[in-house]
Structure 1
Amino acid sequence: MSAGARSTLLSWAQRLRHGRVTGLTGRSFSRCIGITNKSALLGKGLVLSSLSLLAIGSYRWKSRHAVVYASIKVDVKEQADYLYGSGETEKLYEFLSQYRDSNDADILWRLSRASRDLAHFSKPASNDKKRLVYESRDFAYKALEMNESCGAAHKWYAICLSDVGEYEGIKMKIGNAYVIRDHFQRAIELNPKDATTIHLIGVWCYMFADLPWHQTKIAAALFATPPSSTFDEALIYFEMAEEVDPNFYSKNLIYLGKTFLKLKKKELALLWLKKAKDYPVRTEEDKEVHKETTDILKSMGEKV
């Protein structure tokens, strides 16, 4: 799974949990609601940082390549995917910006992803970041208009919509939680083998299952039926993601462990937490997972 993708659903849930949205980490997908007043509710965004796809290797992109690939659409996508896999965030955005008027959903969702990555991973000025966040949402929405059956467009629209929550009011954030969930579910329907999206909807379920009662009360005051879920439901998605792509992502492993802890199944929790701790550390996000897992194991009296 690449850095851009993981960096998507965790963002919205974490804003809910901590009163802010952080970027799915490293090139990650981190973004969930700990609040003390109404203005902070839904400040957490789903930790979409989990959707972040990791950069692999390096590639020196030359501007002349844009000329070579611009004339054939399929090559535009291949070039974009190569730059994305190489972690060339700024060059990818510059390259795809030539096609911002495209009617090809597969180009538009890639442009949405590139805009989002630039907003979260290049440390732009606050005004530029806000512009890029809204731009990424708009490109994903246009991709959906062009092709409603494009699973990637649904995934990235959900991810980018969660990012927009950082700039929206409380009521809009809560209302968008349903929209985010529905688009992730639609993405899974269209692509049942996408472990990233399956993981992210699991995070959505986990975060709402873990909401403190006072936050649930505030949400209930704003909506007759506020978003809710259970740890059992979250577990279904985390296990499904693991079945689709075993050990595909360190964050899925730690969420499995944490979910089993919530369900009072210590032995299973230890099994997955140890897998998460032993996961190869290749990215900043993996480092964070390793540290968090080590801390949890120590708190359980385990020698690490």
Structure 2
Amino acid sequence: RDGIAWLATQCDRACVDVNEFGWICGWVMECVEKGYITKAQLGFDLKWGDTEGAGRLLGMISRREGLGAVLAEGVKRAAEQLGSPAKDCAVYTVKGATPRGHDHRGRWDEMLDTCTSSTGTMETGNPVHPTEVGQPARISIFDGVQVAKYVAGLHGRRSFEDSLGVCIFTTRTRLENVCRALSAATGWTFTPDEAIRFGRRTAAINRATALRCGHTGALEYPSLRYGSTPVDGPAKGQAVREQWETMLDTWYAEVGYERKSGRPWPKTLRALGLDWLARDLWGKKA
């Protein structure tokens, strides 16, 4: 634990994202142990659990020294440069981000949310009280259709919370309470329904921005390892890849976006009061 705390502090001092470094470090350790990255390539021997070695790797990355120059580009780009079999061990989204520090192979809602998000990380999140926004209290977590409908049904809440400028760890309560706090701070009367609508407006604008920057539906996939089937644990044998296309189709239909282009449909944008964005994205078809 002391080693982890020390490494986290070193990441902060180096201005390196601790989440991305965690995935980079674990990936490099595995590749070194399997011989996919050699000692000659890395410059030293790095084994699993080697805190000092991880700190040395962080220094190489932050200064772009040796292989650190490649690793500094992040997991996806580094994996693409090194190629298989090293690439096959890397955990990332095809659009270039890494998931939060959990194993999403047993949390399909978070994997789908991460891959379809326009923000690089989870855009929806799993609230404490999903029923207050019309979602079931529980779903079958390995049923792709149920998962996709659940993620789509929660769409908007996290975007609203993020827009408040507060940490989501402080909003793990009922949405009604968050709205009451906002009303008390601003004098506005804000309801949960208005909060969800606001969040979905924000998400649609984020999506439009991402589309302009090259985001397409072809990027909404997990890497080979990220979307692999667990060989042990509670999610053993549960293959998310077998249901991925159905999950994407369902999610797109539920949020009101076009699957082919990734654009929110004009009727979706108009319902959110974003007529100007509909015209911008669809032109005369709006």
Q: Structure 2 length normalisation: TM-score? A: 0.27
Larger radius of gyration: 2
Normalised TM-score (structure 1):
0.25
